[in-house]
Structure 1
Amino acid sequence: MPDWITSARPEGDERFRAGAALAVLDQVLAHDDVPAALLRARLALSAACACVQILGRHDGPNDLRDAVHLLRAGDRPGPAGIVFTQWLRAIDAPVSTHLPSDCLPSDMADRASDWQAEATGAPIDCATQVLHAALSAFPRQETAALILADATLARQLGWPHVVPLLAAGLTPSDLSQTGPELSAACHRALTGASIQAAGLAADLASRAARLRRVAPKLRARGAGRAVDRFLARDALSPSIALTDLMSDRAARRLCDRLVSLDAIREFSGRSSFRLYGL
């Protein structure tokens, strides 16, 4: 990201900086070395953290990972896990289709197309207008409104999937604004979020390259497909997410082997119920 975008500028330059930052991020997202699905998942985690704080909760990234990635078939997530699940569902759905019903309340989903069709101007302006419309109609559905705004932005920019950007940069106070104040807040948020996303993409591209380099050293049956999952998911539990590929013991040994090769990390710091990812 060029210095003239990341450096502090007068307020009047915010619209230009936001557009420039998104243009650079657009190029980053198109780069073959960037694990796009993993980047979206990591951004979804950040967005979910911001949304649970709006709800008055204080769950951090590892709390949200536990709330979702340790679920087994039939388990129901708690409030924080529901928010994270909303974002994960949103990033998986192509923006050319309607967002899944578990991303948006049905009443909001019914009106989303009209709001998007009525929005005018540049992509950020359209996203801001849709965010305002959704929050005006559903003031307690901040997570869904932010998902819809990011989906609008992605559609306007020609991105195939939702890229979570707005939530991490908007405060509860910002979400209560209207008109020029909300527009300015969204432009500032997207400038900062695009800078952060580009940096994260570079870090994940480096980590993904490392994982791909060590992959030929793995001898476990199903190791190649396991590597593909690490390249697409924020985190996973070997005993839940890999046991369709290998035994529980083999899955845990594979993860320990990848950690020893500095190809993945263990996130929880626990001796059991561990979660691994890039």
Structure 2
Amino acid sequence: MTLARPNPITDPDTLPRIPAWITAARPETAEDVAFLSGAALSHLHLVLGRADVPQALVRERLALRAAEACVVFSGRPERAGDLRDAMHLLRPGDRPGPAGETCLAWRHAVDRPISVTAFARALPTLEPAQIATWLDAGSGTPVTRAAMVLEAVLTAAPRADVPALLLADAVLAHALGWDHLVPLMAAGLKRADLRKRGDDLRLACHRALIASTIAAVRQAADLTRRAAYLKAVAPKLRAKGAGAAVEMLLTRDAVAPSALPMPDRAARRLCDRLVDLDAVRELTGRDTFRLYGV
């Protein structure tokens, strides 16, 4: 008997869905907004605590969204596909350009546990002492602390959108007890929100977190399904180095065949095989210089 192959797109969620009273709510007061953002963050906290969630992959995918939002804030035309190219198709010694540097900052920020050292690597133009000062600029509840850090950075450096949003997310994550930064703020805020201050900025942060956290929960559910399916088909792969290649795909937003630990032709065949199995997707739509991801 031949078993039907599971479909990672249509299979039911393995993670608890975020309650409809959060996703369908239309908050009218500041108290409503704060309550719903807290409820959404609480649900995300439960999701991120699940052992079956591919944590590194989720963070990388959210980092790409955050980088894209920051690029939009700066008025540049690059979008997610361009940022992936900037990261993965550089020649040795090349620099990724302003948009690529933004993407690189977010990738570095989510790669290691929260620390001043990690953020100094992500934000090399800032002194570690300045980063430490800004990380301590907030007080109160998690969202209030994040909003205060965002305001402190943008008041001192009005054009420093990336450091401000990155450090606000770091403070939020640390206040929630998370070991790694989870990018949420940038994808939910509007450009005009970054000019707000005080209570207006805090309210904007709460609103942003409702939307971005709901999206993050759905992203985590989708990637958990896809990662489980990739793990299920991995034993069918016979190529030498396939196991290590699968591990890379399970932790990275996108991978070029040339980056896999196997000969280039074998890597391309493996990626095409995984696409045929619906285990990974080709992300560029091109015939050459392709990138693959869960």
TM tier relative to shorter chain = over 0.9
Asked if 1:276 corresponds to 2:292, the answer is yes
Structure 1, unpaired ranges of 5+: none
Name the residue aligned to 2:174. 155
Name the residue aligned to 2:29. 11
Q: Is the 8 A contact 1:105 1:144 kept in 2?
A: no
3-state SS of 1:209 partner: helix
Output one character per residue of 1:19-59: Cα deviation in whole Å (capped at 9) or x when no partner.
Answer: 11101000001111111100000001100110001111121
CA RMSD for the aligned pairs?
A: 1.3
Q: Is the 8 A contact 1:174 1:182 kept in 2?
A: yes
3-state SS of 1:52 partner: helix
**Number of equivalenced pairs:** 275
3-state SS of 1:9 partner: coil
Output one character per residue of 1:131-161: Cα deviation in whole Å (capped at 9) or x when no partner.
Answer: 1001111111101111011011111111111
Give the aligned residue type for 2:23. Answer: T
Structure 2, unpaired ranges of 5+: 1-17
The percent identity for this pair of structures is 54
Name the residue aligned to 2:204. 185
Q: Is the 8 A contact 2:282 2:292 kept in 1?
A: yes
TM-score after normalising by structure 2: 0.90
Q: Pairwise mapping of residues 98-247 of structure 1 onto structure 2 (< 5 A)?
A: 98-104=117-123, 106-107=125-126, 109-239=128-258, 241-242=259-260, 245-247=261-263
Give 1:172 deviation, angstroms: 1.3
Name the residue aligned to 1:254. 270
3-state SS of 2:136 partner: helix
Q: Distance in 2 between matches of 1:200 and 1:85?
A: 21
3-state SS of 1:188 partner: helix
Give the aligned residue type for 1:266. Answer: E
Give the aligned residue type for 2:29. Answer: E
Asked if 1:86 corresponds to 2:105, the answer is yes
Q: Distance in 1 between matches of 2:114 and 2:106?
A: 13
> More deviation in 77-86 or 97-106?
97-106
Given candidates 70, 74, 77, the residue that maps to 2:93 is: 74
Give 1:4 deviation, angstroms: 1.3
Q: Distance in 2 between matches of 1:141 and 1:97?
A: 17
Give 1:108 deviation, angstroms: 5.8
